[in-house]
Amino acid sequence: MISKKTKYAINALVFLAKRTGEGPIVISEIAEKERIPRKFLESILLSLKKAGLLASKKGKGGGYFLLQDPEEINLADVMRLFDGPIAFLPCVTYKYYERCEECKDEETCGIRDVFFEVKQKTVELLKQASLSEIIKRESNLISHL
Amino acid sequence: MISKKTKYAINALVFLAKRTGEGPIVISEIAEKERIPRKFLESILLSLKKAGLLASKKGKGGGYFLLQDPEEINLADVMRLFDGPIAFLPCVTYKYYERCEECKDEETCGIRDVFFEVKQKTVELLKQASLSEIIKRESNLISHL
DNA sequence: TATAAAGTCTATAGATTTGGTAGACTATTC
DNA sequence: GAATAGTCTACCAAATCTATAGACTTTATA
């Protein structure tokens, strides 16, 4: 399961993506419309800013806005930012690699082999899931009601 | 990431699967050979027993052994037993379904749509990963060294 | 029938993560 | 200079994870 933090981040990003071009949106509006605790959202947006996905403007007329294209931002990156590795085992991650303490031989581990495959497929799907893709799916779902 | 509990459970099960037919294996042996803290392993094996995957025999000559066929036991079931749902969102699980509090309309949620697909593929792969499959992969890896 | 072997049950506990809250501070606009 | 809006630091309660301790029960067998 992803954390609430990640879920909130995704919701906020999709929200901002839908309003691209409208200029900065204030935290309070995102918080209200997306039903996210205001103070919690603050720290989430700050992280997204540090990661280079968002930019902000202070003072009156300020707020947050997307810095990257909605096609560029995908769920794999967002999930990794907040929850760390997507893989089920530390020994099949790339950036967060760690050996399993109790493992006897990584090279011939059948469990690792399975989880490596699962990770590959998962990341592939999550990389494809950009903000634009999510919005597209939403409108598809609406038109099929 | 899966919990250590789940990882230990999988290791213990694979270990027992490899020694099918040898009669009951004592906890201490599994603990030593698989490098799992003894007391922690006790409770894990007990859970696996309650779930119907293992059976035990008390007293001298006792121990644990598989109750199901190694082809029948798969990673999806084991992971669900200890870590709960495999899905990334509570709204795309089957047995643990829960609505996202902050969600405005589940039916038209593009995020949910993506995560549903991811879950489907993941579960499919994990269901295929039986104990026999894991052991088979291990021997494949060994023969390709 | 003792006794050693082996699983079972209940309780506890430290460490870490999760999901937040409070409040002072800084920058910007009008 | 006052209102607006993001930033930074600190804190905190609850849950989860990873165990450990110890008493208890059952069984085989000498």
Show residues of chain B in contact with A126, CB under 8 Å. 114, 118
- Per-residue pLDDT, B107: 94
Question: Is B84 within a domain?
Answer: yes
- Per-residue pLDDT, B96: 85
Question: Is B50 within a domain?
Answer: yes
- Res. A94: pLDDT tops 90: no
Question: Is B141 within a domain?
Answer: no
Question: Is B138 within a domain?
Answer: no
- Per-residue pLDDT, A145: 84
Range of the domain at B12: 4-66
Question: Is B106 within a domain?
Answer: yes
A9 contacts: CB under 8 Å, gap ≥ 6: A44, A47, A48, A78, A81, A82
With distances taken from each CA to the C1' atom of nucleotide C26, the closest residue turns out to be A58
C-beta of residue B100 within 8 angstroms of C-beta of residue B89 = yes
Give chain B's domain count: 2
CA A35 to each of CA A21, A32, A70, A130, B112: distance values in angstroms, whole numbers, following the listed order: 23, 5, 22, 22, 17
User: Could you tell me if A9 and A59 lie in one domain?
Assistant: yes
Tens of pLDDT, residues A7-63: 999 999 999 999 999 999 999 999 999 999 999 999 999 999 999 999 999 999 999
Does any CB of chain B come closer than 8 Å to the CB of residue A87?
yes
Question: At B37, which CATH number?
Answer: 1.10.10.10
Does any CB of chain B come closer than 8 Å to the CB of residue A143?
no
Q: How far apart are CA A140 and CA B112, in angstroms?
A: 13
Nucleotide nearest to B102 (CA to C1'): C19
Tens of each residue's pLDDT in chain B, 145 residues: 999 999 999 999 999 999 999 999 999 999 999 999 999 999 999 999 999 999 999 999 999 999 999 999 999 999 999 999 999 999 999 888 999 888 989 999 999 999 999 999 999 999 999 999 999 999 999 999 8
Cα B121–B126–B132 angle (5° rounding)? 145
